[in-house]
Amino acid sequence: MQDITKWVVVFVLLIGFISAPSLAKTDFNLLNYNENKSNNIVLNGISYTPHATISIFNTGDFISLGFNGSGTLIDPFMIEGLNITSSSAHLISISNTVAYFTIINNFLKSNNSPDYIGILLENVENAEVSSNVILNVDQGISLSDSKHIKIENNTISNINAAGIEIFGNSVNNLIVNNQISNANDGISIHAPNNQISANKIYQNTIGITHSAVNNIIDGNIVYNNSLVGILLENSISIHIFNNSVYENGAQGIWIGMSNNISISYNKVFKNSPDSAINLWQSTNSIINQNIIFENEEIGILLEGSTEIEIYKNVIYDNVNLGILIVNWETTIFSENNNIIENDFLGNNIGNLVQATDDGFENIFSDNYWHDWDGSGPYNLDGSAINQDPTPSTTAHHISPPILDIQSDFVVSGNLTILWQKADDQYNHSIINDYSLYYSTNNGSPWELIVADLTSLNYTFDTSFVLDGSEISFIIETKDELGFKSAGFSEKTYLVANSIHKLSTPILSAPTGSILNNLVTIEWSHSIDTWSGHTVTYSVHYFAKGGSTWIELASNLTNNFYVWDTKTIVDGSYLLKVVATDSEGNTAENVSVMLFEVVNNIKTIIDPVSSSVFDPTNSSRTENATLPWSNIQIIILSLSVIIMFYRKKRI
């Protein structure tokens, strides 16, 4: 696999040599360069004194060559204001010293000799290389086994190899605010623990190349390079952040066979014709909070890469997909990657989906997709048959307008709704155009109240909503790119423009005043004055001489109940029905008369008419069945008459 990588890099470099910008295109108007007949150079108002090439092999050479200074922190040796033009040696070469020295405001020029370097530092410490102009050499500045070197504000152009190269055991060096153009590699880093910051790197073949550990690449402007803007290979623990990488001829940022790479807060745009950010066979890395837009191919491409955390990026208007995940050949998979809380808009122009997953077990979650239809998951293309199951309704990079409802839980009449203005963390303009919605069902659906609001408040007439409804609100806006942001009310509000009550459920008397076996109890439906609430019923009985109501049944939705009277003992009872709505309001009705429950039926024969008396028949005629208590009175009366008659005869 190492051989494959090497061939990839060789291929990139070969194309670079073919397609690199002409070395003769240095912007000398920028340099304001003039040379007179005496070889005095005037550049940007600075006059340089002609001088031979400089070779220093130890600290003593600074003194023997007559350079000012004592080699201390407060009094470094000074190489300053010289015009060194040569094609036969390194222009300035310093090695094997820990003395403090400064190389500043020099003009260094060769004729593009393949062997010589503008400034070569080997095994040195504590130096500053600042504000030099270096032209037409093989390498601009080269550090080998050197540490604590600051390379700052140099202008380097028309270079055969690297504008600045750091290799060997060169650590703790700072490369800052340099301008590098027309080189093969703008900056080439092959040593650990260095920082490359705020450089302007353009019109090279590759802007920054890197193969090392524990370095920082931040705040650089890397543009218009014929191939890759920033290229890392076989690197570990590298932080790439806050760079602007644009208009490069291939990838914006390419990472190959690397681990623990952090790519954050970069702006990567208008690169062509490849991906903006490409991770090839890389692992355990982070791509977060970058702005990736208007690239001529893909926003983010993962090839055979695993355990990559991709979150809170803004990815929009890329000609091809916002993100593409593929395996490398058939054996190296893109798997276990997390794509969470990113904002996607307008990618894959003219097609129906913004992401494709051909990998394995990758997780998409809570991303904003401008083309999501608002319900269900967002389905991705690709052989993984993957989806984002929880798409976000609002873009993550915009702080939403915060709602302030001027009421407690219960609302009525005119309700004042306020909100704070949304804010885009990337300073995109927020369109002063708000839409306000409400819902009586937690957003399923949202009903538009008003659109095209330019103010930060609105008065809502709650009478348009049914009393008893619990409503929530959402205020929506968008930025100049079309990303939407929405602020939600923190709670629901109960609409109450009228008194909430239930009508009384009127009991219908059961057939007969004496009940037994199965008896149907009926009542009229209770009407809730606040529509939309569920009303249920419970049925109770009260025994004569008792002390409490006993529940027969509850949670009934029909207006009747079939009662088996065998569940209670015989006796006299009252009945009651209670209606309850979903808000806890109640209404009840009690029977106007006692009902006799007689489960043990007894029949007798009238001794006069021989009729059968049925105690449960309430529709009897004069000779019909009487209640058992009346029969007892009749029998007792007859006994008294018979006894009286017998006594009289005696």
Question: How high is the mean pLDDT of the chain?
Answer: 86
Name 7's Cβ contacts closer than 8 Å, sequence gap at least 6: none
Residue listed under structure tokens 């910051």: 197
Written as one letter, the residue type at 539 is V
Q: Give the mean pLDDT of 544-548.
A: 85
- Beta partners for 381? 356
CATH number of 398-495: 2.60.40.10
pLDDT of residue 410: 85
Tokens read off for 340: 């969470």
Share of the chain above pLDDT 70, in %: 84
For 311-326, give the DSSP string: ES-EEE--SS-SEEEE
Strands 277-280 and 300-303: parallel
pLDDT at 644: 60
Domain regions of the chain by residue span: 21-204, 207-392, 398-495, 507-597, 604-649
Higher pLDDT residue, 42 or 99? 99
Q: Give, in order, the Cα–Cα distances in Å from 141 to each of 103, 117, 158, 182.
A: 11, 7, 13, 14
Q: Which fold has domain 507-597?
A: Immunoglobulin-like (2.60.40)
Q: Does 207-392 match 398-495 in CATH topology? A: no
The pLDDT of residue 631 is: 55
Contact between 589 and 577 under an 8 Å Cβ cutoff? The reply is: yes
Determine the residue type at 421.
K
Q: Give pLDDT, residue 516.
A: 82
Q: What is the pLDDT of residue 601?
A: 65
The least confident of 239-248, 284-293, 431-440 is: 431-440
Select from 395, 298, 285, 314 the least CA-distant residue to 356: 298
Which residue is it, tokens 């050949």? Answer: 329
Out of 166-180, 428-442, 456-470, 599-613, least confident range: 599-613
- In 21-116, which ranges are E strands? 33-35, 41-43, 46-50, 54-56, 77-80, 82-85, 92-97, 101-104, 107-109
The lowest-confidence range among 45-49, 383-387, 455-459 is 45-49
**pLDDT over threshold 80, residue 14:** no
pLDDT tens-place string over residues 397-415: 998 889 999 888 888 889 9
Q: How confident is the model at residue 13 (pLDDT cuts 50, 70, 90)?
A: very low
CA dist., res. 95 & res. 506, Å (int): 107
Supply the pLDDT for residue 329: 85
What pLDDT does residue 646 have?
A: 61
- Report which of 56, 19, 45 is spatially closest to residue 182, judged by C-alpha positions: 19
The residue type of 537 is: Y
Stretch 451-458: mean pLDDT: 90
User: What separation in angstroms does the CA of 37 have from each of 40, 42, 50, 427, 624?
Assistant: 7, 12, 12, 53, 148
Quote the pLDDT of residue 399. 87
Q: Sorting pLDDT into bands at 50, 70 and 90, what band is 450?
A: very high
Whole-angstrom distance, CA of residue 26 vs CA of residue 111: 14
Query: What fold, for 207-392?
Result: Pectate Lyase C-like (2.160.20)
CA distances from 453 to 432, 457, 472, 476, 486 (A): 8, 9, 19, 10, 14
Band of pLDDT at residue 379, cut at 50, 70 and 90: very high
Using one digit for the tens of pLDDT, what is the confidence trace for 123-152? Answer: 999 999 999 999 999 999 999 999 999 999
